[in-house]
Amino acid sequence: MPLTIEYEGTLYRPPSEGNSLILQATIGCSWNECSFCAMYREKRFRVRRIEELAAEIEAARDQLGATVRKVFLADGDALIAKASYLHAILDLLRTAFPRLRRVSCYASPQALQIRTVDEMSALREAGLTQYYLGVESGHDTVLERMQKGVDAAEMIRVANKAKDAGIKLSTMILLGAGGAELSLEHARESGRVISAIDPRFVSTLVVTPVAGTPLGDDAERGDFVPMDPIALTHELREFVAHTDVSGAVFRSNHASNYLPLGGTLPKDKARIVETLDAVLNAPDAAPFTPEQFRGL
Ligand code: SF4
């Protein structure tokens, strides 16, 4: 039986949460400033009432029963809500779903600035074990243009707070965010920052200017020019080559990518770099995803 939760507005989730029960703990994103992000522009940020979540969890338990093992707390940065509210949700989830293995959410850098290590640690013990963090770039100019609200040093600091709390971090880098002008510096600095964060998961997305966002406006004026698949492949190659992590799953399988790749770093680093070099040496034969099959 399909689950009958009425979600408010468009719902977004990471690709790896495709089989998770999704609950909107918050509506929208409290930051909502990133120049490329169109996800929550139409939503005014608010924390939902716990009674609404309780009713949805009860409905999900009635319809899905013990099958629920993974829950994703939407929308943009549920972690910014008060710790007591998040604990209340986690208590309800643990009671409703005895086989629950993981609760995860997006975490904005701003939420990570606010949360203490002790709070995140206590929430992890209650079940909130994984955050998705849009690092986007390790280059300060690119981060400023993307209006992330933090520079690279601050991104590393707040990400490491979460790691100190024992949180599994899944980080995203935005290919093409520096445009052609800053491409390779953006790639190398992003590799440096991801190495300093040393997350469990690393993925890449390709920036896509969307109408109605500051980046979309820049693209319309010609101030931002999206990069072609070959230049993006070069950027991805440099990013992977400059990423030294102790053990992370790497994916470029988000629908926005031109080349779906995957592996484990550092084990598969040389193979991934070789694959990308082979593409760059024979770009006409490259298996790029056709433009019409790409998504945001
Ligand atoms: S923090 Fe995330 S959800 Fe919020 S505006 Fe930035 S990219 Fe979008």
Mean pLDDT taken over the chain: 93
88: enclosing H helix or E strand: helix 83-96
Instruction: Please state the domain count of the chain.
Output: 1
What does the block give as tokens for 245?
Answer: 């992590």
pLDDT at 195: 98
Which stretches of the chain are assigned E, i.e. beta strand? Answer: 21-24, 26-27, 46-47, 70-74, 102-106, 128-136, 168-175, 201-206, 248-251, 262-265
**Residue 293 binned pLDDT confidence (cut-offs 50, 70, 90):** low
State which ligand 1 atom lies nearest to the alpha carbon of 110. Answer: 1
The arithmetic mean of pLDDT across residues 37-47, rounded, is: 94
Q: Is 128 within the bounds of a domain?
A: yes
Least confident of 2-11, 70-79, 111-120, 244-253: 2-11
Q: Is 113 within the bounds of a domain?
A: yes
Top mutation candidate among 26, 27, 34 for ligand 1, by most atoms within 8 Å of CB = 34
The arithmetic mean of pLDDT across residues 36-41, rounded, is: 94
**Residue 253 binned pLDDT confidence (cut-offs 50, 70, 90):** confident
Question: Which residue do the tokens 């549920």 mark?
Answer: 78
Top mutation candidate among 35, 72, 77 for ligand 1, by most atoms within 8 Å of CB = 77
pLDDT at 295: 58
pLDDT at 285: 75
State which ligand 1 atom lies nearest to the alpha carbon of 37. Answer: 8
Q: What is the Å distance from ligand 1's center to 28 Cα?
A: 9
Q: What is the Å distance from ligand 1's center to 230 Cα?
A: 27
Nearest CA to ligand 1 atom 6: 34
213 Cβ closer than 6 Å to some ligand 1 atom: no
pLDDT reading at 2 higher than 70: no
Least confident of 69-78, 116-125, 250-259: 250-259
Q: Is 287 within the bounds of a domain?
A: no
pLDDT reading at 3 higher than 70: no
Q: Is 71 within the bounds of a domain?
A: yes
The arithmetic mean of pLDDT across residues 146-164, rounded, is: 98
Q: What pLDDT, in 10s, does the model give residues 93-109?
A: 999 999 999 999 999 99
Please report the DSSP string for 168-202 in residue order.
Answer: EEEEEEEETTTHHHHHHHHHHHHHHHHHHH--SEE
Phi, psi of 30, deg, nearest 5: -70, -25
State which ligand 1 atom lies nearest to the alpha carbon of 36. Answer: 7
The arithmetic mean of pLDDT across residues 57-62, rounded, is: 94
The CATH number linked to 181 is 3.20.20.70
pLDDT reading at 88 higher than 80: yes
Q: What is the Å distance from ligand 1's center to 202 Cα?
A: 17
Range of the domain at 68: 17-282
Q: How many CB atoms lie within 10 A of CB 272?
A: 22
Q: Is 3 within the bounds of a domain?
A: no
Instruction: Enter the pTM of the model.
Output: 0.94
pLDDT reading at 294 higher than 70: no
Q: Using CB atoms within 10 Å of the CB of residue 145, give its burial: 0 to 12 exposed, 13 to 18 middle, 19+ buried.
A: buried
Check: CB of residue 155 under 8 Å from CB of residue 143.
yes
**Residue 4 binned pLDDT confidence (cut-offs 50, 70, 90):** confident
Three-state SS for 282?
coil
205 Cβ closer than 6 Å to some ligand 1 atom: no
Q: Is 266 within the bounds of a domain?
A: yes
Q: Is 290 within the bounds of a domain?
A: no
The percent helix, strand, coil of the chain (3-state, each to 5) is 45, 15, 40
pLDDT reading at 136 higher than 70: yes
pLDDT at 290: 63
Nearest CA to ligand 1 atom 8: 37
The arithmetic mean of pLDDT across residues 168-173, rounded, is: 98
Three-state SS for 231?
helix
Q: Is 224 within the bounds of a domain?
A: yes
pLDDT at 283: 80
State which ligand 1 atom lies nearest to the alpha carbon of 147. Answer: 6
Top mutation candidate among 37, 72, 146, 172 for ligand 1, by most atoms within 8 Å of CB = 37
pLDDT at 90: 98
State which ligand 1 atom lies nearest to the alpha carbon of 76. Answer: 3
